[in-house]
A and B are shown apart, each in its own frame.
Chain A
Amino acid sequence: MALQNSIIWLYFSSPKNFYPLAGKLIPFFAILAAVLTVIGLYIGFFVAPTDYQQGESYRIIFIHVPAAWMSMFIYIVMAMYAFIGLVWNIKMSEMMASALAPTGAMFSFLALWTGALWGKPTWGAYWVWDARLTTTLIMLFLYIGFMSLESAIDDARRASKASALVAVVGVVNVPIIYFSVKWWNTLHQGASVSPTMAPKMASTMLNAMLIMVFAFWMYAIAVVLMRARNIILEREKQTTWVQELVTNKK
């Protein structure tokens, strides 16, 4: 059984076989993402009660928190793909890492942006040097570094390998950076604001947030698969199957 499973995985690690699979999966994940977003936002904006401390402004967490989680999570997934690509030399894995980076960067940016919008009414400032904020900012820099290195190298294979190494080095450093910034922040104690949330969240709030996490998850999968398909077409353009595919479509 285990052997069979591994053969299936290896089968789909070939771009030629992955391309149609991704094509079949995209509508499924895209529809799921749309439905979950509608449900999540409806519960978040209309059903969930108003927070007694923060008023209505807290409702941005239904986008902010899932985005922040996704930015971290996508980086880890990206580093895993990068690692697999580096060690076992699997082309598809490298392409997936490249496909994940822009989505991850987008989520970090979204987390920072919504965080700033939430911070102004709650903390009185758009930006506070809080550990989580700072780490998310550094995360965004790491994503940008990954993408710029990849685009700076002309040879696609070499570009993926080099940026894969950056992702792996980055993932080792993220926890170190996080704890460094956290200790730095507690040492300074400059800003008098504390990012403590209300101790207990109403269960409807939590539900809405979890639904939004799944919605973002589905969105990320759908978009990454779309991007991966494009990358496959671009990098495998000299192969016969891509040329047949393209000519048949015309």
Chain B
Amino acid sequence: MTEPSLLTACRSMLGRDLVLAMRRRADVLTTLIFFLIVVSLFPLGVGPEIDTLREIAPGVIWVAALLASMLSLGRLFSDDYQDGTLEQILLLPHPLAVIVLNKVVAHWLVSGLPLVIFSPLLGMQLGLNAESIGILMVTLVLGTPVLSLIGSVGAALTVGLRGGGVLVSLLVLPLYIPVLIFGAGAVESAAAGLGVEAHLSLLGAFLAMAIVLAPWATATALRISLD
């Protein structure tokens, strides 16, 4: 029997995860709707003054994105763990980190990308101007993959555990802080008419670092969890 090449393995892993997500559209929608609801709650709590809302908008949208992406982490490995696929993945003759990276990419496409696409709507709701909304989208494009990557480590560590969902938040949320700071910070700077290059560069740096380090840590975590 010939082994499939690494490229084939990656492609089929990505395709499989996307097909599975499309078969269960409700799961994908839940994350997105959670994001929309959380942001919509803030005006009700804070008050409808558009100036206040505009001021807190970047932080609110970013915190909501953080929570939404964290909520979706449970699905990253748990289904594969339950039906035994995860063990088969661990037995593949390819580097686990690369395979994991493909799973994370698939996860981001179904849980992170919709947040990016719908963020302008929320930005407008909260009174951000067009330029800030553009920056918001750029920060989310750079930042949400980092969230998925860091989150994958937590998801891999808690796979198959009782009460894993709450535990994941405890492990992962402190590590999300830098992304939150610079993601929301960039939008605030844009709204204040300041330069955003520094923020975006740092977000890009986080992404580069997370792509290199996180899959490796996730692979190690998976091997520990399925020991």
B220 cross-chain contacts in A, Cβ below 8 A: 86, 165
Of B157, B175, B178, which is within 8 A of A165 by CB? B157
- Residue B123 at the A interface, CB < 8 A? no
A165 cross-chain contacts in B, Cβ below 8 A: 153, 157, 217, 220-221, 224
> Closest Cβ of chain A: how far from B2's Cβ, in Å?
34
A149 cross-chain contacts in B, Cβ below 8 A: 157-158, 167, 170-171
Contact indicator per residue, chain B 166-192, by CB within 8 Å of chain A (1) or not (0): 010011011101100110010001000
- Residue A54 at the B interface, CB < 8 A? no
Q: Contacts A145-B171, A158-B225, A161-B224 known; A138 to B158 CB distance under 8 Å? A: no
A168 cross-chain contacts in B, Cβ below 8 A: 217
- Residue A152 at the B interface, CB < 8 A? yes
> Closest Cβ of chain A: how far from B177's Cβ, in Å?
6
A166 and B171 within 8 A (CB): yes
A170 and B224 within 8 A (CB): no
CA distance A221 to B173 in the complex (A): 30
> Closest Cβ of chain A: how far from B77's Cβ, in Å?
14
Contact indicator per residue, chain A 141-162, by CB within 8 Å of chain B (1) or not (0): 1101100110011000110011
B213 and A172 within 8 A (CB): yes
CA distance A152 to B160 in the complex (A): 11
A157 cross-chain contacts in B, Cβ below 8 A: 227
Of A144, A161, A173, A181, which is within 8 A of B175 by CB? A173
Residues 184-199 of A contacting B (Cβ, < 8 Å):
184, 187
CA distance A145 to B153 in the complex (A): 13
A162 and B163 within 8 A (CB): no
17 residue pairs from A and B, CB less than 8 Å apart: A86-B220, A141-B174, A149-B170, A152-B161, A157-B227, A158-B225, A158-B227, A162-B224, A166-B171, A169-B153, A169-B175, A170-B174, A170-B175, A172-B213, A181-B177, A184-B181, A187-B185
> Closest Cβ of chain A: how far from B147's Cβ, in Å?
13
> Closest Cβ of chain A: how far from B142's Cβ, in Å?
15
B224 cross-chain contacts in A, Cβ below 8 A: 158, 161-162, 165
A169 cross-chain contacts in B, Cβ below 8 A: 153, 175, 217
How many positions in chain A have a CB within 8 Å of any CB in the partner chain?
Answer: 28
- Residue B23 at the A interface, CB < 8 A? no
B162 and A152 within 8 A (CB): yes
B161 and A177 within 8 A (CB): no
Q: Contacts A138-B174, A148-B167 known; A166 to B157 CB distance under 8 Å? A: yes
Q: Which of A86, A138, A153, A170 gathers most chain B CB within 10 Å?
A: A153
- Residue A176 at the B interface, CB < 8 A? yes
B175 and A180 within 8 A (CB): no
Q: Which of A148, A152, A168 gathers most chain B CB within 10 Å?
A: A152
CA distance A148 to B181 in the complex (A): 26
A166 cross-chain contacts in B, Cβ below 8 A: 157, 171
A177 and B227 within 8 A (CB): no
> Closest Cβ of chain B: how far from A135's Cβ, in Å?
10
Residues 48-83 of B contacting A (Cβ, < 8 Å):
none
Of A145, A161, A184, which is within 8 A of B227 by CB? A161
> Closest Cβ of chain B: how far from A144's Cβ, in Å?
7
B171 and A177 within 8 A (CB): no
A162 cross-chain contacts in B, Cβ below 8 A: 157, 221, 224-225
B185 and A176 within 8 A (CB): no
CA distance A153 to B167 in the complex (A): 11
Q: Which of B158, B170, B225 gathers most chain A CB within 10 Å?
A: B170
A152 cross-chain contacts in B, Cβ below 8 A: 158, 161-164, 167
Residues 99-143 of A contacting B (Cβ, < 8 Å):
138, 141-142
A142 cross-chain contacts in B, Cβ below 8 A: 174
CA distance A142 to B170 in the complex (A): 8
CA distance A141 to B170 in the complex (A): 7
B213 cross-chain contacts in A, Cβ below 8 A: 172
A177 and B174 within 8 A (CB): yes
Q: Contacts A152-B161, A152-B162 known; A177 to B178 CB distance under 8 Å? A: yes
CA distance A107 to B171 in the complex (A): 20
CA distance A216 to B178 in the complex (A): 31
Nearest CB in chain B to that of A168: its residue:
B217
Contact indicator per residue, chain B 4-17, by CB within 8 Å of chain A (1) or not (0): 00000000000000
CA distance A138 to B171 in the complex (A): 11
Contact indicator per residue, chain B 196-227, by CB within 8 Å of chain A (1) or not (0): 00000000001000000100010011001101
